[in-house]
Amino acid sequence: MRKLYRWDNKEVELVHETTGKVFKEGDAVTSFRGEPDVIRYIEPPHKSSASGRVNNYYAGVYDLKFQLVGVKETPQISDSPKELADNVYFEFDEGTISAYEAIDRLKKITKNL
């Protein structure tokens, strides 16, 4: 497998954004549209604001990204209150609801007070 280097000459590898699995030329991938493809061309980022390319598309089209070799990045946690609240649940006798749904229900109840 040929080594890949980004703009600052640091070695990078092409990995899946969620699983961290390493990909190389010849590997099968699926685009965000669900279209199957094979990696034929890899171009690491050429500047700090670039994401790099795979088959002449942005790496993100295949849910891929370039990361430094040997560095395991942790997934980004959203700062969106809705996304954070959607990961918290409350259990009631009638079922389970997300914190966001509970907040939404409280807003509706207090609006009528």
- Better pLDDT: 80 or 31: 31
Pair (47, 95) in one structural domain: no
Three-class SS of 34-95: CCEEECCCEECCCCCCCCCEECCEEHHHHCEEEEECCCCCCCCCCCCHHHHHCCCEEEECCE
In tens, the pLDDT along 32-90 reads 888 999 999 999 999 988 999 999 999 999 999 999 998 776 555 555 665 555 556 66
pLDDT at 86: 54
Query: pLDDT class for 20, splitting at 50, 70, 90?
Result: confident
Inside any domain, residue 76? no
- Is residue 62 within 8 Å of residue 54, measured between CB atoms? yes
Domain that holds residue 87: 81-111
**Element (DSSP H or E) covering residue 103:** helix 99-111
Distance, CA of 26 to CA of 109 (rounded, Å):
57
Pair (60, 96) in one structural domain: no
| Number of domains comprising the chain | 2
